Chain A
Amino acid sequence: MYNIIDSKYERGAILKVLTKNENICVECHQCEDACSVAFFKAADREKSSVRVDRKKTGEINLTTCTQCGVCIDVCPVQAISRDKNGIVRINKKECVGCFMCVAACPEDAMMYNKDLIEPFKCVSCGICTQECPTGAIKIEDI
């Protein structure tokens, strides 16, 4: 009854998603630089929507957004919705900066940075994948 998924996107249609294969990541961090340069004009991994780090267990951990839409439902002002291609996007004008979406994201892919009063996330643009030397991250149609 309260489904707010943007009507222009039909469930089941093709959706471009950034997928990951941690086994072949070489931790060059090129993707982080590419993303942050593209969106924030500075190579600063803290401003990248894709992240490379290690799990507590020592294994490589790639953080990517699956476009699952969990964040859509927690936003109190409906600032998050799917665009016509199904990509989950934040309308910064509407956002009141509560960061509930940051905590609700099951992938930790909704990002916070101290210089910004709104969160930011991956929009499946694929810029990062062009820099990845091994194909550890890819844009795939699902």
Chain B
Amino acid sequence: MNVEEMRKSHKRLTEFAYQTGTIDRGYNNRTLYINVSTNEIKEKPVSQEMKEKFIGGKGFGLKLMWDAVNDNTKWNDPENTIVVSGGPVCGTTQYPGAGKSLVVSISPATGIVIDSNVGGYFGPYLKFSGFDAMAIQGKAEKDIIIYINGDDGEIVIDEAPDEALDGHVLGEQLTEMYAKDEKDKKNISVITAGSAAKHTYMGLLNFTFYDLRRQVTRLKQAGRGGIGTVFRDKNIKGIVVRYAGTKGNSNKPANFDKVARTGIKLHREIERLDDNLMRIRQVGTANIIEVMSAHDLLPTHNFQYGTHENVVNIHSNVFRDNYLTQGLPDGCWFGCSLACAKAADKFKLKTGPYAGKLVTVDGPEYETAAGVGSNLGIFDPEAILEINFYCDTYAIDTISFGTTTAFVMECFERGIINKDITGGLELKFGNKEAALELLHQMSRGEGFGPIVGKGIRKLKQYFADNHGADYDFLHDIGMEAKGLEYSQYMSKESLAQQGGYTFANKGPQHDEAWLIFMDMVNNQIPTFDDKAEALHYFPMFRTWFGLMGFCKLPWNDIFPESNKYQDEPAKIPEHVQNYVDVYNGVTGFHIDKDELILQSERVYNFQKVFNLRLGGGSRESDIAPYRAVGPVTKEEYLSREDRYNKEMIEKIGMDPSNMTLEERIAATREYRMKQYYKLMDTVYARKGWSDQGVPTIEKLQELGMDFPDVIEVVKRYL
């Protein structure tokens, strides 16, 4: 069926006209509200206070969510909302990494708010079309497509029965349907989920951009926390935005020259240095596969080990030399000269419904290569690319898929589950066919796949309730906290990273704090106070990217020659100043680097209170499964015996030579958990929270976030 026939089968549900051309200094000062139950569409004003307190991006997302839901809202209630928002700098074309959208919703995995940062052109085009954010509430009766025509100021909702569900097909279909011709395709961006989103709790959203050189629709993912599952629960098939006419000043910055000069400076830095630093332009983020492995930090076999003899088979150069097309401007938005969005072209699929087809695979990013590669014991680059492809098109988060499947594989190998339970799948480490079949089952909604697709938290209970598994052991080895699966770093030997992961508001994702190298490798934050300061500063600094619509990579995956002479090189001070300059240049405000942190702190604390309001956010929810903290099993202890024995002598003050292995494991555990709780106390105090992790009224007053309904929530917990 061609797209014309598909379009003919659309049934118009509603139309809405609005005024375009409202953007000024990075804001339109209004947001878009769409209710897909009632087909109501309206504009909502953005107040000065909203801009000051919530800034934009994730801040706007949280604010709009807060107003949309109640204390008991569950992910699949109609009032749950999906908010997509760029932020004031989003849409800037001169500074690398300024095209991100932030997506916020109540997660099926965690029950609290999740946020995900994603590339593609949707966020910028939504803004140029006239809206600082888009909030979607309700549930449609039948599958719908929402189309925002930002050129003519028109929004429609159509029932759309015939389009595909899978992201790579639907992305192409809708791009073709709404573009006037081939050249116009770059003016379209689509949000899709995929066929597996409805059958799992780890459904993601694809955000597209059209790649003029490859002539394909590329997919970037808002991966974490199952927002794609919410999207499909609302029976939304796709959301399309079109905006033709992007120019260098489409974001209407207050000071174009300031923004442009700062951008050109960073473009030059990347041009000069990237090939000898992280090589992001060649391999994307995959360069850290070998770095992590060299430090015994690459998650392997469900985070048991940190390296493997076969890691060489998936080193980044293998991908670069054999799969990733080189030398293209692979930015996920215009002006990203760091260009991490690598792709393998004309990749031939071996399994599943698209077997034999030649496709473009986005990635693999490091997280994917580690998650569905080493962590599953799969050291085959083609299997990694194939799993990557199917995850994206089916709308499955590669991180949660990898971490959950790794957990299931360890359960299988330890005999906790067997083939009767898996429906015949031999889910041993390294079994790529079984991993792929699991994925295909998630798409089809049959077999063991959808059970695994509910994530580790549900599986632990399921295996204990139905198959007599020892829940405590599963809890030790199941790498989830708050219901979200850990992303792909080994925190075992870095106390600061344990906190960075597990205290994170949304669940253990590294975008809040990544301190392994500072802490473990470079030993720059030795004391508890140092660690707590880092666990204050970096989460706040990184939160700011999400308020803006910025990408994190151009912050510290490239740095100027002079960086090592700075007082605090880990902060990349010159780049922090760049961000201050770009923000001021766009908005005309005059913040400095301290005000930047304050902006984040407001939103961060608000998110924490939001978690409490939805029944999460407790001290208990900040406690890591033991595998994130230390060796659970004998094999793990023995794999790093020297390190752990040394710790016994030097830190714990015990002599391992007189102790059995079990005694050493127990003593290490007791010591490490004590350290962990002490870190928790120190970090809570630094953040201005009670010992239960609740923001104090004084703190909220100091931040100017003492809104009556916010205070009312914390009072329940103080």
Spell out A's residues near B (CB within 8 Å). Answer: 1-2, 4, 73-78, 95-100, 102-104, 112, 114, 117-118
> Is B94 part of the binding interface, using a Cβ–Cβ cutoff of 8 Å?
yes
Asked if B186 is an interface residue, CB under 8 A from chain A, the answer is yes
Supposing A103-B270, A117-B249 touch, asked if A77 and B186 sit within 8 A by C-beta, the answer is yes
Say whether B264 faces chain A, with CB atoms less than 8 Å apart: yes
- We find that the number of chain B residues with CB closer than 8 angstroms to chain A is 28
Give the segment of B325-333, B394-402, B437-445, B603-611 that binds chain A. B325-333
Across the A-B interface, give the 5 residue pairs with the lowest CB-CB distance, nearest first: A97-B248, A103-B267, A98-B335, A114-B257, A117-B248
Question: Contact string, B158-198, partner A, CB cutoff 8 A, digits 1/0?
Answer: 00000000000000000000000000001000000000000
Task: Determine whether the beta carbon of A114 is less than 8 Å from that of B260.
Answer: yes
> Is B716 an interface residue, CB under 8 A from the partner?
no
Q: List 7 A-B contacts (CB under 8 A).
A: A75-B329, A96-B93, A98-B334, A99-B94, A100-B335, A103-B264, A103-B268
B231-264: CB near A (< 8 Å → 1, else 0) gives 0000000000000001111000000110011011
A97–B247 touching, CB < 8 Å: yes
Q: Check: B271 CB closer than 8 A to any chain A CB.
A: yes
Complex alpha-carbon distance, A119 and B213, angstroms: 22
Instruction: Among A1, A100, A118, point to the contact of B329 (Cβ < 8 A).
Output: A100
CA distance in complex: A103, B186 (Å) = 23
Classify the secondary structure of A's interface with B: loop
Known contacts A75-B329, A99-B263, A4 near B213 by CB under 8 Å: yes
Given contact pairs A2-B213, A117-B249, A118-B248, A99 touches B334 in the complex (Cβ within 8 A): no
A114-B256 contact, Cβ under 8 Å, with A2-B328, A98-B248, A104-B271: yes
- Residue B214 lies at the interface, judged by CB distance under 8 Å to chain A: yes
CB distance A96 to B260 under 8 Å? no
Name which of A76, A96, A103, A118 has the most chain B CB atoms within 10 A of its CB: A76
Instruction: Select B248's contact among A1, A2, A95, A103, beta carbons within 8 Å.
Output: A95
CB distance from B125 to the nearest CB of A (A): 12
Contacts of A78 in B (CB 8 A): 212-213
Give residues of chain B (490-540) contacting chain A, Cβ–Cβ below 8 Å.
Answer: none
CB proximity of B261 to chain A, nearest CB, Å: 8
The smallest C-beta distance from B264 to any residue of chain A, in angstroms, reads 5
Q: Give the residue of B247, B249, B327, B334 whose beta carbon is less than 8 angstroms from that of A76.
A: B334
**Separation of A104 and B275 alpha carbons in the complex (Å):** 13
Asked if B137 is at the interface of the complex by the 8 Å CB criterion, the answer is: no
CB distance from A51 to the nearest CB of B (A): 16
B329 touches A102 (CB 8 A): no
Give chain A residues whose Cβ lies under 8 Å from the Cβ of B186: 77
- Across the interface, do A97 and B337 meet the contact criterion of CB distance under 8 Å? no
Residue in A98, A102, A103, A104 with the greatest tally of chain B CB atoms within 10 Å: A98
A108 CB to closest chain B CB (Å) equals 10
Alpha-carbon separation in the docked complex, A131 to B200 (Å) = 72
Point out the residue from B247, B263, B328 that lies within 8 Å of A96, measured CB to CB: B247
Collect the chain B residues with CB atoms within 8 Å of residue A76's CB: 212, 329, 331, 334-335
Q: A99 to B267, Cβ gap below 8 A?
A: yes
- Given A73-B327, A76-B334, A112-B264, 18 new contacts (CB under 8 A): A74-B329, A75-B329, A76-B335, A78-B213, A95-B247, A95-B248, A96-B246, A96-B247, A97-B93, A97-B247, A99-B267, A100-B329, A100-B337, A103-B267, A103-B270, A103-B271, A103-B337, A104-B337
Nearest opposing residue in chain A for B263, CB measure: A99
Chain B residues with CB under 8 Å of A1's CB are: 325
A75 to B268, CA, bound (A): 15
Q: How far is the CB of A142 from chain B (nearest CB, A)?
A: 24
A77 to B212, Cβ gap below 8 A? Answer: yes
Of A74, A100, A114, A118, most buried by chain B (CB within 10 Å of CB) is A100
Partner of A98, one of B93, B268, B270, B328: B93
Given contacts A102-B264, A103-B337, contact A97 B249 (CB under 8 A): yes
Measured between alpha carbons, how far is A139 from B213 in the docked complex, in Å?
33
Residues of B with C-beta under 8 A to A97? 93-94, 247-249, 260
List of B residues within 8 angstroms of A112 by Cβ:
260-261, 264
Q: State in angstroms the CA–CA spacing of A105 and B328 once bound together.
A: 15
Q: Count chain B CB atoms within 10 A of each CB in A73, A78, A117 and give the residue with the most.
A: A117
Chain B residues with Cβ below 8 Å from A98 are: 93-94, 248, 263, 334-335, 337
Within the assembled complex, what's the spacing in Å between the Cα atoms of A112 and B270?
Answer: 18
Q: Contact check, B267 vs A100: say whether CB atoms are below 8 A apart.
A: yes
Per the bound structure, the CA–CA distance linking A102 and B212 in Å amounts to 21
Nearest residue (CB) in A for B258 is A114
Determine the chain A residues whose CB is within 8 A of the CB of B249 once the complex forms.
Answer: 97, 117
Residues in chain A near residue B329, CB distance under 8 A:
73-76, 100
Max chain B CB contacts within 10 Å: which of A2, A73, A95?
Answer: A2
Cα A92 to Cα B261 with chains together (Å): 19
Q: What residue in chain B is nearest A3 (Cβ atoms)?
A: B213
The residue on A at minimum CB distance from B215 is A2
User: Which chain A residue shows the least CB distance to B212?
Assistant: A78
Taking the closest CB of chain A, its distance from the CB of B333, in whole angstroms, is 9
Task: Given A103-B264, A103-B270, A103-B271, check contact A96 B334 (CB 8 Å).
Answer: yes
Closest to B249 in A: A117
Q: Which residues of A contact B213 (CB under 8 A)?
A: 2, 4, 78
Residues of B within 8 A of A77 (CB): 186, 212, 334
A118 CA to B334 CA, complexed, in Å? 14
Q: Chain B residues near A95 (CB, 8 Å)?
A: 247-248
A73 to B268, CA, bound (A): 16
Contact indicator A117/B256 (Cβ below 8 Å):
yes
A73 partner residues in chain B, CB cutoff 8 A: 327-329
**Nearest chain A CB to B375 CB, angstrom units:** 34
Closest chain-A Cβ to B197's Cβ sits at a distance in Å of 30
- What residue in chain B is nearest A92 (Cβ atoms)? B247
Please name all residues of chain B whose beta carbon is closer than 8 Å to the beta carbon of A118 when the two chains form the complex. Answer: 248
**CB proximity of B359 to chain A, nearest CB, Å:** 16
**Inside 8 A of B248's CB, which chain A residues have their CB?**
95-99, 117-118
B99 CB to nearest A CB, Å: 11
Compute how far the CA of A46 lies from the CA of B102 in the bound complex, rounded to whole angstroms.
39
Min Cβ gap B167→A in Å is 22
Contact indicator per residue, chain B 303-335, by CB within 8 Å of chain A (1) or not (0): 000000000000000000000010111010011
The docked-state distance in angstroms from the alpha carbon of A73 to that of B330 is 11
User: Whole-angstrom distance from the CB of B332 to the nearest CB of chain A?
Assistant: 10
Of chain B, the residue at the smallest CB distance from A117 is B248
Neighbouring B residues of A99 by C-beta, 8 Å: 94, 248, 260, 263-264, 267, 335
- Give bound CA distance, A100 to B248, whole Å: 12
